[in-house]
Amino acid sequence: MDLFADIEKKEVEKMLKCSRAVTRELCPQEAVFSEGETPSNIFILEHGEVALEKSFASGKRNLLYTVEPGDVFGEAFLFSGQSHYWYDAIAMKKSRVIMIPWKFFYGFCENACGHHQMITRNLLEILAGRNFSMTKKLHLLSSTSLKEKLAIYFLDNMDAAGRVKLGMNREDLADFLGVARPSLSRELMNMQKDGLISVDREAVKIVDMDRLEGLY
């Protein structure tokens, strides 16, 4: 877990006890927290999958990002001064989260944990990394066309072999990009027909790197 990087297991257990952290089990589609509720904890996903999403009155959903095991979430509200959650956190499968009260991060615990400064440093690194990820998504969403958005997404997430593992289904990817699923499927087929990419159920293979980079 990134929040406990470079901290020994016994120290982690000590800090969780000092912080009065609690563990919560979640069923699929159960909310960890909902828009409008008052923030009071930072969350760590022990196992499962959680989606952070913004829902609108029209029924449209914007997938902000997906939380993977070991990730921290809800941290944006710790120092932002926001009195209510702006989005929902929904368990996508059976999951377990650790809830750490905010007050633990504002000062040293009563037992003066030796690694309290380290966990604060780790939290700042997580916040910086999350800010960078959101900046990249803003760049992606500001693109003028769906083809350009897909080109940026594929080039940003490819491995050394030019392969992009799809960690989400088509519906979630469409929500992440802010487009309709039929439009996404149609554009993927067009890009494959044009020889830019090759698509299978689990991944996208970049076929023509130069032409794909030339789209933006």
Q: Is residue 164 within 8 Å of residue 154, measured between CB atoms?
A: yes
pTM of the model: 0.62
Instruction: Tell me which residue has tokens 């090759």.
Output: 198
> Of 121 and 87, which is predicted with more confidence?
87
- Residue 108, pLDDT > 80, answer no
State yes or no: pLDDT of 77 exceeds 90: no
What is the average pLDDT across 33-40?
A: 91
79 pLDDT above the threshold of 90: no
194 Cβ contact list (under 8 Å, min separation 6): none
- Which helix (H) or strand (E) segment is 123 a member of? helix 116-141
Residue (of 53, 48, 54) closest to 68 by Cα position: 48
Report, as an integer, the average pLDDT of 47-57: 88
What does the pLDDT read at residue 109? 55
pLDDT for 89 equals 94
pLDDT of residue 111: 54
Cα gap 129→122, rounded to integer Å: 11
Q: 111: which 2 tokens?
A: 């037992």
How many other C-beta atoms lie within 10 A of the C-beta of residue 194?
13
- In the chain the domains, ranked by start, together with CATH numbers, are 2-140 (2.60.120.10), 143-213 (1.10.10.10)
pLDDT, position 12? 82
pLDDT value, residue 47: 94
Model confidence pLDDT, tens digit, residues 160-212: 888 988 877 888 888 888 888 899 999 999 999 999 989 987 889 999 888 88
Output the CA–CA distances (angstroms, integers) from residue 67 to 47, 95, 194, 206, in the order listed: 10, 11, 33, 26
**Mean pLDDT of the region 25-40:** 93
Mean pLDDT of all residues in the chain? 83
CB atoms inside a 10 Å sphere around CB 3: 22
CA-based diameter of the chain, in Å? 63
Q: Are 141 and 179 in contact (CB under 8 A)?
A: no
State how far the alpha carbon of 109 is from the alpha carbons of 5, 19, 164, 199, 212, in Å. 19, 7, 43, 51, 52
